[in-house]
Structure 1
Amino acid sequence: MNPTDRRTALRAGAAAAVAGTLTTACGTEPPAPARRPPPAPAPAAAPAPRRFPGRPAEIENGPRDRPRVALTFHGQGDPGIARTLLDQAEKAGARLTVLAVGDWLDRHPDLARRVLDGGHDLGNHTQRHLDINAMTEQEAYAEITACATRLRRLTGSIGSWFRPSRARHAAPTVQRAARRAGYPHVLSYDVDSLDFTSPGAAAVVAHVTGPIRNGSVVSLHFGYADTVAALPLLLAELDRRGLRAVTTTELLT
């Protein structure tokens, strides 16, 4: 190849290289792999128990000067009923407090997250739902911590509240055991729906709406059909009276 031909070939090669670069810059190269969407964030862990200064070791009600109440549910029984009650509350814009029994969580572990993901409080109602006031302090402590262990495993926290099983009020030994387990307060109530007696939906509503007032803490239960029928009526009556159903934590904050 003579010098003139060599220079011509070099110029042609350089032009081809520049054209290739421009082609790549114009987007004709193979597309980059599509980015995977970031994983959905995990639900937040359950809030830890809080100390409310000025409140007694056993709390029965919240402030009486604000139009708010807490509907608290003992967590055991048919999981389908539990989910229906949670759905009903959320549809009405209400938030509940669920005190879960440990062996119920063993059978239905998904319900711990379901409660929290709905914006409700989740707490401890002992491991086996026995008469805790009849136990020694060490036995009571074991019942409380067994449920707390399950809550921590499922949610990262021992839950916001402790309520004694088969008792409205906790004996002094149970209060001490609860404090040792990490719960500054025992949660009682000042209004009993008596829904566990299956008196009919109208009676459940009457048992609550008769005595309820600002700051009331109401005892209700998962697992009873009367409660399912009563809850929409109860929430509608609370709304009519200007009472808002909030979590116990919010009631006291």
Structure 2
Amino acid sequence: MTSIDRRSVLRAGAGAAAVGALAVGCADDAGPPSPPPARPAADRPRPAPAPRRFPGRPAEITHGPRDRDLVALTFHGQGDPALTEAVLTEAERAGARLTVLAVGTWLDRHPAVARRILDGGHDLGNHTQRHLTITEMTEREAYAEITGCAERLRRLTGSIGTWFRPSRARHATPLVTALARRAGYPHVLSYDVDSLDFTSPGPSAVTSNVTGQVRRGSVVSLHLGHAGTAAALPALLDELDRRGLRAVTTTELLS
């Protein structure tokens, strides 16, 4: 290599070193990176309510007070999210608030639905992880079903949900009630009115099944994911209104 070539190489190396030193110096002068700007309060998700203990109420709740013109429409939560949106939108249009007991695998497939329910002012609770017959499980299996869904709710909303309802069982066994309490749910939520909508009897039958039994303080069992239930809701809410009954969350019913 000639002396001219050597001088060119040295000048190129020195220039690269200077650039590197300048870059390091700039990074040091800049200090630690700034934290991301805080989200405006209006953009933050509303806090998710936690389970509440209602003194004087039994471990398994089937209905609310009979001296107020309030009822709770409770929905077993799974199925097509488009039908869920239709139900929530219709309820909100009518000024009603619902209680949705979500299945954990449903939340895995459609995580945004949890926040949608809460943002609409509705109650959100736990209906086990896989929606199997919990009363036939061992203690370990049943507890895993409750806590599995609870952890998904906590991850998505910051809370394990306001209520627990056993899967494929109208009433909880003493064991399931105890396991739910251990998982953080003071009460198990049952119901006194069964719409039988899961049998797909048609919208008019769903409406008549409910209106034929409902009264002050009733907790009504319904299901998301059934087109007949979504179609029945406008007439059902109109009939409740005609009778002077207002559909509220289960929390409000018992408060």
After TM superposition, is the score higher than 0.5?
A: yes
**CA separation of 1:42/1:192 partners in 2, compared to 1, >3 Å: closer, same or farther?**
same
Match of 1:42 among 33, 41, 44: 44
**CA separation of 1:38/1:196 partners in 2, compared to 1, >3 Å: closer, same or farther?**
closer
Distance 2:153 2:179 in 1: 17
Instruction: Return the letter of the residue paired with 2:248.
Output: V
Give runs of ≥4 in structure 1 deviating > 3 Å.
Answer: none
Aligned to 2:90: 88
Aligned to 2:234: 232
Aligned to 1:243: 245
Instruction: Return the letter of the residue paired with 2:139.
Output: E
Q: Secondary structure at the match of 2:237?
A: helix
1:45 Cα offset (Å): 2.1
Instruction: Return the letter of the residue paired with 1:197.
Output: T
8 Å contact from structure 1 (residues 137, 176) kept in 2: no
Aligned to 2:124: 122
Distance 1:218 1:130 in 2: 21
Q: Secondary structure at the match of 2:149?
A: helix
Distance 1:37 1:62 in 2: 41
Which ranges in structure 2 are unaligned for 5 or more consecutive residues? 1-36
RMSD: 1.2
Aligned to 1:105: 107
Aligned to 2:68: 66
- Match runs of 1:133-172 below 5 Å: 133-172=135-174
Distance 1:37 1:44 in 2: 15
Q: Secondary structure at the match of 2:99?
A: strand
Distance 1:41 1:222 in 2: 28
Structure showing greater radius of gyration is: 1
Q: Secondary structure at the match of 2:239?
A: helix
Distance 2:39 2:83 in 1: 34
Match of 1:51 among 44, 50, 53: 53
1:217 Cα offset (Å): 0.1
Aligned to 2:80: 78
Q: Secondary structure at the match of 1:238?
A: helix
Distance 1:164 1:37 in 2: 39
What is the total number of aligned residue pairs between the two structures?
A: 218
Q: TM-score, normalised by structure 2?
A: 0.84
Q: Secondary structure at the match of 1:52?
A: coil
CA deviation profile, 1:172-217 (whole Å, cap 9, x unmatched): 1100110000000000000000000000111000100001000000
- Match runs of 1:12-51 below 5 Å: 39=40, 40-51=42-53
Q: Secondary structure at the match of 1:178?
A: helix
Which ranges in structure 1 are unaligned for 5 or more consecutive residues? 1-35
Distance 1:225 1:240 in 2: 24
Instruction: Return the letter of the residue paired with 2:201.
Output: P
Instruction: Return the letter of the residue paired with 1:136.
Output: T
Distance 2:116 2:180 in 1: 25
Q: Secondary structure at the match of 1:230?
A: helix
Aligned to 1:183: 185
Distance 1:199 1:244 in 2: 25
